[in-house]
Amino acid sequence: MDKNTIDKIKFPDIIEQKKLRDAKRTFTIKRGGENKMKRRILTGDRPTGPLHLGHYVGSLENRIKFQDEYDCFFIIADYQVLTDHIKETAKTEKYIREIVLDYLSVGIDPEKSTIFIQSLIPEIAELTMYFSMIVTLARLQRNPTVKKEVRTAKISEISYGFFGYPISQAADILSVRADLIPVGEDQLAHIEQTREIARTFNRLFGKTFPVPEGLVGRVPRLVGLDGQKMSKSQNNAIFLSDSPKTVQRKINIAITDPARIHPTDIGHPNICNIFQYYKTFNPEECKEIEDNCKKGKIGCVACKKKLSEVINKFLKPIREKRRYYDGQEKLIKTILETGNEKTQREAKKTIKLAREAMHFDYKKLL
């Protein structure tokens, strides 16, 4: 089967548009001895805490799945720490390391994929400056994700950089001219804004950037253990790095169907957080649990115990990989250095293209 046929099976909805868009792409890879075009992925995370199960099903799973087909760039977005965690920058370095370990432990392969730190690629800041001139203030104020974050941020005054971070995120994505962005549902607003920026730039200065697509994972929004959005900062998340005991403790105190007091009461799995986790992490047993819960045949305590086992089984290979990488500081350093270098090389090419397009190359003058 040739590569195009494989692509068609895996991504029927996006492939046709992409083929057109990428026709001019010159990036090639060796595949079976031949040079073939390879599209790019860019996505990433803010180093404000360790990654959790929501990240896994929302985005990490897709990253792992696509790392052979795509040339992948994973950004650790430290500029974004400054938006609403500006007083916690002392922890950033520690969290960057944690996120690298999270990536490696879920199966992101540093031989195939590129992991890099946003602020070490100054070209991203340069691109942010250019893009900031083609986005209106009104458009920024309409971004629903930023609006929500502004409401929940525990800060009294919102900075210009906070409001503008979707522009910086567009620069992250377009700095390597990425085509596909695997993300959680909350990030789609930023992808939409990135697409608009790419189109506007192309309209003003000629075709320079691809118009990238977002790709949401099989569970776009995994709820936290309290029924709210799972979040690093809300104390309602199961982290990929949690120990078996911690997982058990967190699940034990999770909120279930509030109408159930006795184990024999009739349950309502459709409104129960724990049941959402079964659906995601144990689809095989899901039906049985649902029936038993509805009939009052399994109580919440037993159900939670079983879920802890399911989650711990899921996390076991991830913990093992983490143990392998944890402590290999030299290797982590090399992975980041190599990733930063490769990304910067690509970002420099992008800046050259963008500056030429804007007639900022000043060839006659200099």
Q: State the Cα–Cα distance between residues 81 and 89, nearest whole angstrom.
A: 7
Size of the site for ligand TRP (CB under 6 A): 14
**Member of 106, 183, 223, 230 binding ligand TRP (CB under 6 A):** 183
- Residues with Cβ within 8 Å of 169's Cβ and at least 6 positions away in sequence, in order, are 77, 80, 190, 193, 194
CB nearer to ligand TRP: pick between 48 and 256: 48
Of 288, 277, 292, nearest to 247 (Cα)?
277
195 binds ligand TRP (CB under 6 A): no
CB nearer to ligand TRP: pick between 77 and 298: 77
What strand order describes the sheet that includes 180-183? 114-117, 71-76, 40-45, 180-183, 213-216
189 binds ligand TRP (CB under 6 A): no
Residue 104 in 3-state DSSP? helix
Q: State the Cα–Cα distance between residues 137 and 141, nearest whole angstrom.
A: 6
Closest contact distance (angstroms) between CB of 53 and ligand TRP is 15
CB nearer to ligand TRP: pick between 150 and 310: 150
Packing angle between helix 300-325 and helix 244-252, nearest 10 degrees? 150
Concatenate the DSSP letters of all residues of 304-354 into one string: HHHHHHHHHHHHHHHHHHHHHHTT-HHHHHHHHHHHHHHHHHHHHHHHHHH
Q: State the Cα–Cα distance between residues 258 and 167, nearest whole angstrom.
A: 42
Binding mask 50-89 for ligand TRP (x = CB under 6 A): -------------------------x-x--x---------
**Member of 128, 169, 280, 282 binding ligand TRP (CB under 6 A):** 169
198 binds ligand TRP (CB under 6 A): no
Q: What is the 3-state secondary structure (H, E, C) of 328-340?
A: CHHHHHHHHHHHH
Closest contact distance (angstroms) between CB of 267 and ligand TRP is 34
Closest contact distance (angstroms) between CB of 241 and ligand TRP is 17
Task: Please identify, among the stretches 42-50, 100-108, 150-158, 242-250, the one whose residues bind ligand TRP according to the rule CB under 6 A.
Answer: 42-50
Q: Put residue 207 in one of left, alpha, beta given phi > 0 → left and psi -120 to 50 → alpha.
A: beta
Binding mask 287-326 for ligand TRP (x = CB under 6 A): ----------------------------------------
Closest contact distance (angstroms) between CB of 214 and ligand TRP is 9
Task: Please identify, among the stretches 13-21, 25-33, 166-174, 215-223, the one whose residues bind ligand TRP according to the rule CB under 6 A.
Answer: 166-174
Which two structure tokens, joined as six digits, stand for 339?
A: 């990733």
Note whether 95 and 60 are within 8 A (CB).
Answer: no
**Member of 46, 177, 195, 229 binding ligand TRP (CB under 6 A):** 46
Closest contact distance (angstroms) between CB of 365 and ligand TRP is 35
Q: Which residue is nearest to ligand TRP (CB)?
A: 77
256 binds ligand TRP (CB under 6 A): no
Q: State the Cα–Cα distance between residues 312 and 155, nearest whole angstrom.
A: 36
Which two structure tokens, joined as six digits, stand for 122?
A: 């100054």
Residues that bind ligand TRP (CB under 6 A): 42-46, 75, 77, 80, 169, 172-173, 181, 183, 187
